[in-house]
């Protein structure tokens, strides 16, 4: 199998690098300097015309969307996801998509409007709204994790890779705190995983 990941530290490409480490895959990394403008260079725009990370090349297919990459890699390796048709498949897909489609947007809106955009373009009301939305999904997740080690129960899966990145983003906003003890403990368990530590090094 041939796998090449276009990666910038701290971005969503960490999900894919982390998963590749969990899978024990052989892969090539193309390191991009996010702040240094690498994503807007012509050679990268030829790979991803919107200039976003991650991009994954796998066996001749070029993919965008971290969630699609995670699903495809699990399928190719036959690991870390309940197989199609099995009882936990629906819940697995729900968490994979919830992490990016529902939980991640307010985290992004928070960072954009609190730190990233030029100051005159920042909207304080968006930051306040994002804080409320993040707290709501953190409560949902805290309730879900009350009697579970990972999203699907006792077994770690690729859904935890997707969600782990988002939960770490919520931690960085300052909104994930002692009000959500089950989520804090869950994030602690994920951060201890050697595969995540190797992917972050
Ligand atoms: N839904 C996409 C989002 C990709 C995305 O927005 N990546 C960010 C980094 S975390 C990016 O490249 N931002 C640069 C930009 O939007 O110009 C995914 O999950 O892969």
pLDDT tens figures, 92-139: 999 999 999 999 999 999 999 999 999 999 999 999 999 999 999 999
Q: Are 166 and 104 in contact (CB under 8 A)?
A: yes
Distance 102 CA to ligand 1 centre (A): 15
33 falls within a domain = yes
Mutate to test the pocket of ligand 1, among 52, 70, 97, 103 (most ligand atoms within 8 A of CB): 52
Give a yes or no: residue 93 inside a domain: yes
Select from 63, 80, 97 the last residue of a domain.
Answer: 80
Residues near ligand 1 (Cβ within 6 A): 11-12, 39, 51-54, 65-67, 100
* Domains of the chain: total: 2
Query: Mutate which of 53, 67, 69, 166 to test ligand 1's pocket (most atoms within 8 Å of Cβ)?
Result: 53
Nearest to 160 by CA among 176, 145, 175, 147: 145
Using CA atoms, how far residue 71 sits from 22, 59, 118, 142, in Å, is 14, 15, 35, 25
CATH of the domain at 17: 3.40.30.10
The verdict on 76 and 47 lying in the same domain is: yes
In a domain, 201, yes or no: no
Q: What does the pLDDT profile of the chain (201 residues) look like in tens digits?
A: 999 999 999 999 999 999 999 999 999 999 999 999 999 999 999 999 999 999 999 999 999 999 999 999 999 999 999 999 999 999 999 999 999 999 999 999 999 999 999 999 999 999 999 999 999 999 999 999 999 999 999 999 999 999 999 999 999 999 999 999 999 999 999 999 999 999 999
User: Whole-angstrom Cα distance, residue 181 to residue 183?
Assistant: 5
Same domain, 102 and 187: yes
State if pTM tops 0.95: yes
Question: Which distant-in-sequence residues (6+ apart) come within 8 Å of 85 by Cβ?
Answer: none
DSSP string, 40-86: GSHHHHTT-TT--S-EEEETTEEEE-HHHHHHHHHHHHT-SSPPTTS
State both tokens at 114. Answer: 């609190």
Kindly state whether residues 179 and 111 are assigned to the same domain. yes
Do 187 and 109 belong to one domain?
yes
Determine which residue's CA is closest to atom 14 belonging to ligand 1.
Answer: 52
Residues 102 and 181 in one domain: yes
Q: Whole-angstrom distance between the N-terminal and C-terminal Cα of the chain?
A: 24
Residue 19 domain-assigned (yes or no): yes
Question: Residue 167 is part of a domain; what is its CATH number?
Answer: 1.20.1050.10
Q: How far is the CA of 135 from the centre of ligand 1 (A)?
A: 22
């Amino acid at each position: 199998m041939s796998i090449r990941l276009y990666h910038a530290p701290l971005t969503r490409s960490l999900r894919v690098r982390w998963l590749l480490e969990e899978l024990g895959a052989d892969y090539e990394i193309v390191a991009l300097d996010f702040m240094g403008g690498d994503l807007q260079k012509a050679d990268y725009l030829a790979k991803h015309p919107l200039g976003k990370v991650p991009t994954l090349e796998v066996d001749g297919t070029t993919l965008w969307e971290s969630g699609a990459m995670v699903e495809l890699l699990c399928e190719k390796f036959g690991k870390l996801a309940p197989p199609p048709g099995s009882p936990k498949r629906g819940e697995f897909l729900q968490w994979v998509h919830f992490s990016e489609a529902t939980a991640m947007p307010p985290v992004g809106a928070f960072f954009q409007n609190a730190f990233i955009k030029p100051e005159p373009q920042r909207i304080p009301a968006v930051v306040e709204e994002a804080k409320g939305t993040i707290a709501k999904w953190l409560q949902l997740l805290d309730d879900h994790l009350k009697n579970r080690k990972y999203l699907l129960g006792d077994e770690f899966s690729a859904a935890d890779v997707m969600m782990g990145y988002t939960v770490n983003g919520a931690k960085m906003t300052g909104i994930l705190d002692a009000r959500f003890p089950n989520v804090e403990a869950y994030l602690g368990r994920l951060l201890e995983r050697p595969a995540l530590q190797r992917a972050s090094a």
